[in-house]
Amino acid sequence: MTYIVLHNPNCSTSRNGLALLDEKGVSYEVRKYMNAGDALSEDELRDIAKKMGVDSPRAFLRDKDAKKFELPETASDDEVFAAMIDNPRLIQRPIGINGDKATLGRPIDKLLDIV
């Protein structure tokens, strides 16, 4: 099983999460989901929510960017998923995925919960 980290190199929390995994000797692959070639599909986003054990993508939505990009608070889950696909900045990071589990690395120590 490969531990995958959804990573944005421009985010200090995401960089700190990778540093923590390195420090603990955790082997992982990085997916720079902000790059067009590594963009997440709706099915992948729905799978992440399922693996996190959450009912809504709002569990890993960046609230401040949602406001910045005028995503209404009343948006349905389908609309939130669509907005995340159109603008991956709306996705919190880092997210760790390991087999059938996923976690939002906020705080970064949570990345170790699924090792």
Active centre residues (catalytic):
11
Three-class secondary structure of residue 66 per DSSP: helix
Distances (CA, A) of 87 to 2, 30, 39, 59, 91: 26, 19, 10, 16, 8
Tokens coding 46: 């729905």
